[in-house]
Amino acid sequence: MNKIKCYQCGKLYPEDKLTFFDTGMWCGECLDEYTTLCDDCGERIYTDDAHYTTDDYPVCDRCYDEHYFYCDRCERIYSNEYWTNGVCERCSEDEGAPEAIPNDRRYYFKSRKDLPIGVEIEAEGGDYMDVYDELTPKGFGVSKDGSLQDGIEVQVPASNGGNTEKLIKQACESLKRNGFGISSRCGLHVHIEFPSRKKTIKRLLLMVYACEPILFAVNPKSRKNNNFCKSLAPAFKVGEILSTETARIDKLFYSKGNGRTTQNAIKLYKMSKWNECRYFGFNLHSLFFRNTIEFRYHAGTIEPQKIISWVWLLRSILLYVRYGYDKPEVLGLIEQPTILGKFRYLSNMLKLNEGHISYFLNRYMRFNKKLCVA
């Protein structure tokens, strides 16, 4: 029987094991990895070309244009039947709720090593106004989140100097006290101020790329299979990061979610909060827009110690990039064949203490039970 090359991977397969897509014959593995089916019409499309609804179903361009709309307020895609006054039905109901932005100058001072940190905590189902009344006088940001069920987002103001843990505890206590809980829809986003990006941005991207398998492995599977927390791989390759000049890392980053990467286009991307590239688990767009790095990998939680441990790990990674970076060491982390091997290697790089090592190993075992048994 004649064998034919898969259009994508180049491996040889019997013809009856391949499927025609786009302009060539594809194997099953490549179809699963790079394509999906429109949930409305069933047409096969590239995964990167799909529009994902608020329920995380992929739809093609044609079905999107005919049956869906994008809500600018909650940044989700809904069926046209939920369109109300220019926004989705849920956001329309929330329009009367007061909102407050965080006071990011109240709890921190400029420091080279004590990097200021802000946290966004998403939760569902409690009394919004009680949390608003408790936290906004203290400088917290509080807003409705239309992507959740009776959702709230508490923005812990930027802080350092010993204030971060105290503020995280205050936010979590208020949310619990007023009836809020967590579902798989919720996320935890951490913003960290990171100076000197012109010198370190390439190192930063490579380091987070190296760490990302660990960051996903210590979180529920729902975070990796999430279009609002996309993986750097396979969008980025190690070789292209290494070969890109530091001054052109911004172009490389924006090329992964935007059609145009001219100098003027990139300048406009940096001036706007909204950009498709902001939905990587590592949101480098935030650094260009507001001078903070955003990490979106962590699942939602209102347990303060989980948040504090996570923040500590991320801060340690950034301090390594600024003050301890060793390129061969980072490449060695990438080459480690297993997640546990990567974690042990990273622990030595960052000089993690036994308490943090134990905490993250326990999280890994919790979310990867089959691998641990094997």
SS3 readout for the chain = CCEEECCCCCCEEEHHHCEEECCEEECHHHHHHHEEECCCCCCEEEHHHCEECCCCCEECHHHHHHHEEEECCCCEEEEHHHEECCEEHHHHHHCCCCCECCCCCCECCCCCCCCCEEEEEEEECCCHHHHHHHHHHHCCEEEEECCCCCEEEEEEEEECCCHHHHHHHHHHHHHHHCCCECCCCCEEEEEEECCCHHHHHHHHHHHHHHHHHHHHHCCCHHHHCCCCCECCCCCCCHHHHHHCCHHHHHHHHHCCCCCCCCHHHHHHHHHCCCCHHHHECEECHHHHHHCEEEEEEEECCCCHHHHHHHHHHHHHHHHHHHHHCCHHHHHHHHHCCCHHHHHHHHHHHHCCCHHHHHHHHHHHHHHCHHHHHC
Angle 260-264-266 from CA coordinates, rounded to 5°: 60
Cα dihedral sign, 319-192-364-253: negative
pLDDT at 373 exceeding the cut of 60: no
Question: Is 317 in contact with 351 (CB distance < 8 Å)?
Answer: no
Do the beta carbons of residue 124 and residue 149 sit within 8 Å? yes
In the prediction, which pLDDT does 366 show? Answer: 94
Closest of 149, 45, 137 to residue 100, by C-alpha: 137
Distance from C-alpha of 298 to C-alpha of 11, rounded to nearest angstrom = 36
Q: Has residue 98 got a pLDDT over 90? A: no
Give residue for tokens 């075992």: 365
| pTM tops 0.85 | no
Contacts of 4 (CB under 8 A, 6+ apart): 12, 13, 14, 15, 18, 25
* Mean pLDDT for all residues in the chain: 90
**Per-residue confidence (pLDDT) for residue 338, from 0 to 100:** 95
Cα torsion 361, 366, 368, 373: sign:
positive
Q: What percent of the chain has pLDDT over 90?
A: 61
Q: Which two tokens stand for residue 205?
A: 């991207």
How far apart CA 66 and CA 72 sit, in angstroms, is 18
* pLDDT at residue 26 tops 80: yes
Checking if the pLDDT of 82 tops 50, the result is: yes
pLDDT band at 93 (very low <50, low <70, confident <90, very high): low
Q: Count Cβ atoms below 10 Å from residue 369 Cβ, excluding itself.
A: 10
Q: What per-residue confidence (pLDDT) applies to 343? A: 97
Bigger pLDDT: 333 vs 59? 333
pLDDT band at 353 (very low <50, low <70, confident <90, very high): very high
Of 103-107, 146-150, 202-206, 327-331, where does mean pLDDT reach its minimum?
103-107
Digit-coded pLDDT (tens) for 36-76: 899 899 999 988 788 888 767 889 989 988 898 888 777 77
Mean pLDDT of 273-298: 92
Most confident of the following: 52-66, 206-220, 253-267: 206-220
Assign 196 a pLDDT band (cuts: 50, 70, 90). low
Quick check: 255 pLDDT over 60?
yes
**Could you give the CA distance from residue 234 to residue 224 in angstroms, rounded to a whole number?**
12
What was the pLDDT predicted at 54? 72
Q: Which residue has the higher pLDDT, 155 or 100?
A: 155
pLDDT for 95: 62
The residue that leads in pLDDT, 340 or 69, is 340
> In this predicted structure, what is the pLDDT of residue 216?
97
Mean pLDDT along residues 190-201: 84
pLDDT greater than 80 at residue 327: yes
Please report the pLDDT score of residue 205 as a whole number: 97
Whether the pLDDT of residue 224 is over 70: the answer is yes
Asked if the model's pLDDT at residue 371 lies above 80, the reply is no
Q: Per mean pLDDT, which range of 51-55, 247-251, 270-274, 289-293 is the poorest? A: 51-55
What is the Cα–Cα distance from 189 to 226, expressed in whole angstroms? 14
